[in-house]
Amino acid sequence: MLCQTRPCATTSDHHASLFARSALTILCLAISALFSFALTAKGQQQPTAQPTPQAQTGELITLRGKRLYVEVSGPQDAPALLYLHGGPGSGAYDFTLYQGQRLSRRLRLVRMDQRGSLRSDPLDEKEAFGLQDIIEDCEALRQHLGIKRWFVLGHSFGGYLAVRYALAYPNSVAGLLLESPSFDLAPSARSLLRGAALEYRAMGKPAEAAECLKAAAKADTPEEVWQDFTRLTNALDARRNNLYVHGPEKDFFDQLVAHSPMPKEWGRGGTMQSKLYAEKQVFVSLLPKLSELRCPALLIKGQYDWVTSADQLAAFRSDVRHGQIVIFQHSSHFPRVEEPTRYAAIVTRFVLQHCRKRRGTGPPSCTSGLPSRS
């Protein structure tokens, strides 16, 4: 997810409160959820039991002068898969709750709280930090773990990161999996504004709906569209969550934060976000770069997701030469939460199929060969 927090004080408690309250207010380009959903025979979703908060099984690894929280689990000889969370700054905790055990059955799953996020060491207010630091951290982690090539799975803003990483280090990436990605914040924000207009209409507020549609139609810069989206969705209040969640549990992220074993650490994402938005690299479109991808790529999209807009989906379909698209009919922005079993099966099958295609007479280049840390 890529979310815009409201202006806030610098205390960690206040950051944590604002981060939790605003996590689904705007472009949730990669935060996961707290409640799993199961499909009934009629295709309707029902919330399952809340996942039990997990013990922290990772470790702090020093990469490029900063300690980053890393978890590794799964068979030692399985293909390696790196998960990149969104936010920016959400951390990988929720992904472990919903997909850690499922994906670790047949894959070597690596999760990292990105620099300055959640359980990794916080960023100082005056510390230099930019988008490229996350890319370099990914490559440094691969080298640290001794992985020759790995698959990379990114959700939302994490999908944006995954594409940039694959373009910067094509020999390191065996394949891409992109869940509800945004390749360009401007069309994502415009799409979300159209979704917000529907919510305002349902609230009996036609003037606000018209303003959203007007903002979506303007030829503004990505930064201006993003600002309009942030401003115009504030008044949706609880209905903002309808833009991201198809199932009934709309406040899952608030619940996730409340039940996690590290409630204060969530505030670290605020500093990371503000630095990335100030740098403005996150507003650079990757749509013209999609044709440069050389590895196999799978795009996973919820039927009701507004973030991966129709024009971005069309660009992926036409420009990514080894691309596949899977639509999850009962999901919005979080297929891995709303349809977790199918999600795990599709991700695992994609990785194993493309790993086998790369195998020669020697050991496959997409297996990790790492000692277990689970």
Query: Residue 369 above 60 pLDDT?
Result: no
- Residue 321 in domain: yes
Measured between alpha carbons, how far is 10 from 121 in angstroms, rounded to an integer?
16
How many domains does one find in the chain? 1
Taking the C-alpha atoms of residue 301 and residue 324, their distance in angstroms, rounded to an integer, is: 11
Which residues, in sequence order, are CB contacts of 1 under 8 Å at separation 6+?
23, 27, 28, 29, 30, 31, 86, 87, 90, 155, 156, 157, 333
* Domain CATH number, residue 311: 3.40.50.1820
CB 122 within 8 A of CB 268: yes
Q: Is 152 within the bounds of a domain?
A: yes
250-262 burial string, b = 16+ CB within 10 Å, else e? Answer: bbbbeebbeebeb
Instruction: Read off the pLDDT of residues 235-275 as tens digits, 9 standing for 90 and up.
Output: 898 899 899 999 888 877 778 888 888 878 888 888 999 99
Residue 218: pLDDT over 70: yes
Residue 366 lies in a domain: no
The rounded distance, in Å, linking the Cα atoms of 300 and 95 is 15
Higher-confidence residue of 141 and 50: namely 141
In tens, the pLDDT along 73-121 reads 999 999 999 999 998 888 999 899 999 999 999 999 999 999 999 999 9
For residue 54, what pLDDT band results from cuts at 50, 70 and 90? Answer: low
Residue 372 lies in a domain: no
Range of the domain at 113: 12-358
* Residue 156 in domain: yes
Q: How many CA atoms lie within 13 A of 241 on its CB side?
A: 19
Distance of CA 70 to the CA centre of its chain: 16
Asked whether residue 2 is assigned to any structural domain, the reply reads no
Is residue 193 a contact partner of residue 63, using CB atoms and an 8 Å limit? Answer: no
Residue 207 domain-assigned (yes or no) = yes
Q: Is residue 365 part of a domain?
A: no
Q: What is the pLDDT of residue 252?
A: 78
Q: Which pLDDT does position 137 carry in this prediction?
A: 98
